């Protein structure tokens, strides 16, 4: 937006400057015409719109990102790639894509949502077609859920009317009021159109910690049995995950008819991260800061975190979450 204003300002300014220098009115009109055309072209190119110049899915880049940037999540990586690929390549999807990402803290749920957004929208998470709701921030008072409900519905409708390829990320889904979750159900259904609006090309991503403990328990059992982490398959977790989420009395998924009606297309488990993944996160953060990756520092940072079980120290309690601040401390 700021760039747009700057372009416009410069165009108008140069036009006026030329005008002042020009005596003949015909030349002035031509100059104004050129200025206006230039200004409009620049505006169009710098102002995000809901078309293929701003929204295009790059499957190869998503695959490369998942492969090189997301650590230790072989199941999530493969489900997400297939799900997003299949959906984006389908010209006529029957319903919006609904992904529900589960796992303990700092395992990459927000991070993966960002990777998806970056490979669909030129502006990534800054796109005006990508919307993030955080339960505790946007819907803090359970008693006001009726107000939230109508606001949320109008908001989804307004945004999808504006751009059918909209993406909605609901963070802390487990802390959301069940009735509020229910209120988004109509948009996730197999309707052709709802009040004249089609939601079939939208993407909904739900993030939550529910099921995290059970995913961790499964990972720990594999480790105790001496089996490789990569041997864990979706089928080892999927049924359990659906049941846990559905029966979670604490969390907002409880009774939510999203699950009852099979509106969630994919439940995506995020495994707890190990020491080696934390080292990779630290090295990645150094690269992101344009510093030479330093293995010694990465090792120190990783050793500083808390792991469980206490004696074996296998999984990082907070995943890669505190890497940024730890790195500030060591560098």
What is the contact surface with Mg ion in residues (CB under 5 A)?
A: 109-110
Residue 103 is labelled as binding a ligand = yes
For ligand ATP, the closer of residues 102 and 201 by Cβ is 102
For ligand ATP, the closer of residues 16 and 137 by Cβ is 137
Q: Given the rule CB under 6 A, which of 69-77, 153-161, 177-185, 304-312 is the region that contacts ligand ATP? A: 69-77
Residue 110 is labelled as binding a ligand = yes
Shortest distance, position 91 Cβ to ligand ATP, whole Å:
31
For ligand ATP, the closer of residues 67 and 312 by Cβ is 67
Of residues 95-114, those binding ligand ATP (CB under 6 A): 103, 105-111
Which residue's CB atom is positioned nearest to Mg ion? 110
Q: Which of 165, 175, 321, 326 binds ligand ATP (CB under 6 A)?
A: 321
Shortest distance, position 175 Cβ to Mg ion, whole Å:
12
Asked if residues 159 and 131 have their Cβ atoms less than 8 Å apart, the reply is yes
Position 72 contacts ligand ATP (CB under 6 A):
yes
Q: What is the per-residue binding string for ligand ATP in 194-213, x denoting contact by CB under 6 A?
A: ---------------x----
Position 327 contacts ligand ATP (CB under 6 A):
no
Q: Which of 54, 71, 148, 253 binds ligand ATP (CB under 6 A)?
A: 71
Q: Which of 11, 15, 73, 77 binds ligand ATP (CB under 6 A)?
A: 73
Give the Å distances, CA to CA, from 90 to 53, 153, 203.
Answer: 19, 26, 13
For ligand ATP, the closer of residues 2 and 290 by Cβ is 290
- The whole-angstrom distance between residue 255's C-alpha and the CA centroid of its chain comes to 25
Residues forming the annotated binding site for ATP? 103-110
């Amino acid at each position: 937006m700021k760039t747009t204003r700057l372009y416009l300002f410069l165009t108008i300014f140069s036009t006026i400057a030329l005008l002042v220098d020009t005596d003949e009115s015909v030349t002035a009109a031509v100059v104004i015409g050129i200025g206006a055309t230039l200004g409009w072209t620049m505006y169009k190119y710098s102002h995000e719109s809901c078309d293929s110049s701003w929204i295009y899915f790059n499957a190869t880049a998503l695959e490369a990102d998942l492969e090189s940037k997301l650590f230790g999540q072989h199941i999530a990586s493969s489900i997400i790639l297939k799900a997003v690929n299949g959906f984006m390549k389908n010209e006529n999807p029957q319903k919006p894509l609904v992904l529900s990402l589960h796992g303990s803290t700092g395992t990459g749920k927000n991070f993966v949502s960002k990777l998806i957004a970056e490979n669909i929208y030129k502006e990534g998470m800054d796109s005006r077609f990508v919307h993030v709701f955080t339960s505790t921030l946007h819907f803090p008072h359970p008693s006001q859920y009726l107000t939230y409900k109508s606001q949320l519905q109008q908001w989804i409708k307004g945004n999808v009317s504006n751009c059918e390829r909209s993406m909605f990320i609901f963070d802390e889904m487990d802390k959301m009021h069940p009735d509020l979750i229910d209120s988004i159900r109509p948009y996730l259904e197999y309707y052709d159109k709802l009040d004249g609006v089609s939601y079939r090309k939208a993407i909904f991503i739900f993030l939550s910690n529910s099921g995290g403990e059970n995913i961790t328990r499964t990972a720990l059992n594999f480790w105790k049995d001496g089996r490789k982490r990569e041997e864990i398959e979706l089928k080892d977790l999927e049924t359990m995950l659906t049941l846990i989420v559905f029966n979670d009395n604490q969390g907002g998924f409880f009774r939510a008819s999203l699950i009852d009606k099979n509106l969630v297309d994919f439940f995506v488990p995020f495994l707890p991260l190990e020491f080696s993944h934390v080292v990779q996160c630290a090295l990645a953060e150094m690269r992101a800061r344009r510093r030479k990756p330093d293995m010694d520092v990465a090792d120190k940072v990783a050793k500083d975190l808390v792991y469980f079980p206490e004696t074996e120290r296998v999984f990082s309690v907070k995943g890669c979450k505190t890497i940024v601040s730890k790195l500030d401390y060591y560098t």
